[in-house]
Amino acid sequence: MKVISRLILASALILAAASCSDRKPRSLVIETDVPPLPHGQETMLGYAAPPLDTVRVGFIGLGMRGPGAVERFANIDRTRIVALCDIDSARVEKSQQILDRAGRPRAAAYYGTPDSWREMMDRDDINLIYIATDWKNHTPMALAAMESGKHVAIEVPAASTLDEIWALVNTSERTRRHCMMLENCVYDFFELNTLNMAQQGLFGEILHTEGSYIHNLKEFWPYYWNNWRMDFNRERRGDVYPTHGFGPACQLLDIHRGDRLATVVAMDTKAVNGPAYILETTGEQVDSFANGDHTMSMIRTENGKTIHIQHDVVNPRPYTRMYQLTGTRGFANKYPREGYAFEPDVIADSAAIPDHENLSAHSYLSDDQMAALLEKYTHPLIIEVGEKAKEVGGHGGMDFIMDYRLVYCLLNGLPLDMDVYDLAEWCALTPLSEISIANGSAPVAYPDFTRGHWRDTQGYRHAYPAD
């Protein structure tokens, strides 16, 4: 009887499908609103602001990330640190002492209330606001900065909702002020070198990239002011911190520079260790904790490429951002071992590669082969400032390269390495993955934040002055 019932059901489904064959199929992809481009508003893609004589910066947020940024800027020429702001006066003083040690003049100090930062916006001697606060304050501060005529750089993630993201895009376009997210991982040495190889075609056509933020934060939770980061994970589902893995993956695929993100599907595990940590440290029995222990997102691009992104900050796993690419002619992988593999003929014509006659795509290059490869394909930015970056520091130097490039582009009137659409695309994975998970891991359409301009530029490149 069960078999007969199944056959009847199958026949009914076939008949139903046949009866609808002349109708347009209903899309199963969830779509979100894409607001129309306001009249007179222009794209920021490729935008170069007038060059600055000096980058005059005001810092907001001097807790975990801010002081390091102050120290890096103190080591970059043609910068002036004009103002420092934090709700805690002791943190402002700590950063003032960084300026003392660097031989820089002390900055104007703002502190004491949650709104102290607003006083900085009225200053006409600041042209860049650098935001390193808790995530919920990123967008309102950035909007105020642009409205007051200042460029803005925002720690990751710059925004966490689609409304916030569209507000940043529209305000940047309308005010003609740069709005850059401070995604440092695109400047790590392995990522830069691999990007250089990709841009020179070593991997063939890149079909798939992977990234993640897998970092057990148990020892760090107590240091987040007022417990803001744990509270955010408690309130929000989806990949709430995607950009460290997502940014480098998107650059490899020339996202909004010839290709665009089209669809995302996400799923997560149940929440276990987040609630357990709260119980262990506070005694509170948590009834509701939104963020699953492990979140996975799969993204498909308009040109048929794929990206896999993961998030896990509560389980005892070794740190990894994954960073992996699969191309038609080669492969790169960063964690747990940095390595490359190529089809034998890809670099077989290079006499500088030891034992190149015996290359195989089934195994990584040897250490000697890796060293020879990197000697040839070290990224120009690493050649230019790599040693100073290591000396100044900041996650091994990548933070310094990030800030150096921001200043360099502003001084030279160049398009920034990361524009407001990078910010939008990378941050949007948070609300889009949340929507997907809430709807049974349904596919969700990725908004085109460029509103049709994603083909205007072909290929991602760092900008330099014309010869």
Q: What is the DSSP string of 303-330?
A: TS-EEEEEEESSS----B---EEEESSE
Q: Indicate the average pLDDT of the chain.
A: 93
Taking the C-alpha atoms of residue 401 and residue 193, their distance in angstroms, rounded to an integer, is 13
**Beta strand ranges found along 313-450 (DSSP E):** 324-327, 330-333, 339-342, 444-445
- Other C-beta atoms within 10 Å of 292: how many? 23
458 has pLDDT over 90: yes
| pLDDT on residue 346 | 87
Q: Give the pLDDT mean for 270-288.
A: 97
Task: Tell me the H-state helices in 253-366.
Answer: 273-282
Taking the C-alpha atoms of residue 147 and residue 113, their distance in angstroms, rounded to an integer, is 21
Taking the C-alpha atoms of residue 87 and residue 31, their distance in angstroms, rounded to an integer, is 40
| pLDDT on residue 23 | 53
| pLDDT on residue 399 | 98
Residue reference for tokens 């900055």: 107
355: left (phi over 0), alpha (psi -120 to 50) or beta: left
Tokens encoding 301:
């691009």
12 has pLDDT over 50: no
7 has pLDDT over 50: no
Taking the C-alpha atoms of residue 214 and residue 212, their distance in angstroms, rounded to an integer, is 6
Residue-wise pLDDT for 92-128, tens only, equals: 999 999 999 999 999 999 999 999 999 999 999 999 9
Taking the C-alpha atoms of residue 351 and residue 147, their distance in angstroms, rounded to an integer, is 56
Residue-wise pLDDT for 286-326, tens only, equals: 999 999 999 999 999 999 999 999 999 999 999 999 999 99
Residue-wise pLDDT for 203-241, tens only, equals: 999 999 999 999 999 999 999 999 999 999 999 999 999
| pLDDT on residue 165 | 98
Task: For CA atoms 344, 367, 396, 386, give the dihedral sign.
Answer: negative
| pLDDT on residue 18 | 45
More confident residue, 86 or 467: 86
172 has pLDDT over 50: yes
Roughly how many angstroms between the first and final C-alpha of the chain, as a whole number? 80
Residue-wise pLDDT for 27-37, tens only, equals: 699 999 999 99
Tokens encoding 232:
């955010």
Please give the DSSP secondary-structure letter assigned to residue 257. T
Tokens encoding 339:
């390595």
| pLDDT on residue 151 | 98
Residue-wise pLDDT for 412-451, tens only, equals: 999 999 999 999 999 999 999 999 999 999 999 999 999 9
Task: Report the CATH number of the 186-380+419-445 domain.
Answer: 3.30.360.10
14 has pLDDT over 70: no
Residue 208 has phi, psi (to 5 degrees) of -150, 135
**Three-state SS at 239:** coil
Task: For CA atoms 9, 11, 15, 18, give the dihedral sign.
Answer: positive
Edge-to-edge order in the sheet of strand 128-131: 108-110, 79-85, 55-60, 128-131, 151-154, 179-181
Position 1 confidence tier, pLDDT thresholds 50, 70, 90:
very low
466 has pLDDT over 90: no
Contact 190, 336 (CB under 8 A): no
Residues with Cβ within 8 Å of 57's Cβ and at least 6 positions away in sequence, in order, are: 73, 79, 80, 81, 82, 126, 127, 128, 129, 130
* 111: nearest Cα among 57, 58, 60: 60
Residue-wise pLDDT for 321-378, tens only, equals: 999 999 999 999 999 999 999 998 887 655 556 665 566 667 999 999 999 999 999 9
| pLDDT on residue 3 | 39
Write down the CATH superfamily of domain 55-182: NAD(P)-binding Rossmann-like Domain (3.40.50.720)
Task: For CA atoms 288, 289, 290, 292, give the dihedral sign.
Answer: negative
| pLDDT on residue 355 | 62
Taking the C-alpha atoms of residue 51 and residue 142, their distance in angstroms, rounded to an integer, is 21
* 111: nearest Cα among 90, 82, 95: 90
The domain locations on the chain are: 55-182, 186-380+419-445
| pLDDT on residue 264 | 98
| pLDDT on residue 362 | 77
| pLDDT on residue 404 | 98
Taking the C-alpha atoms of residue 88 and residue 111, their distance in angstroms, rounded to an integer, is 6
Residue reference for tokens 């040109």: 303
For the entire predicted model, the pTM comes to: 0.93
Tokens encoding 240:
């709430």
Residue 57 has phi, psi (to 5 degrees) of -115, 145
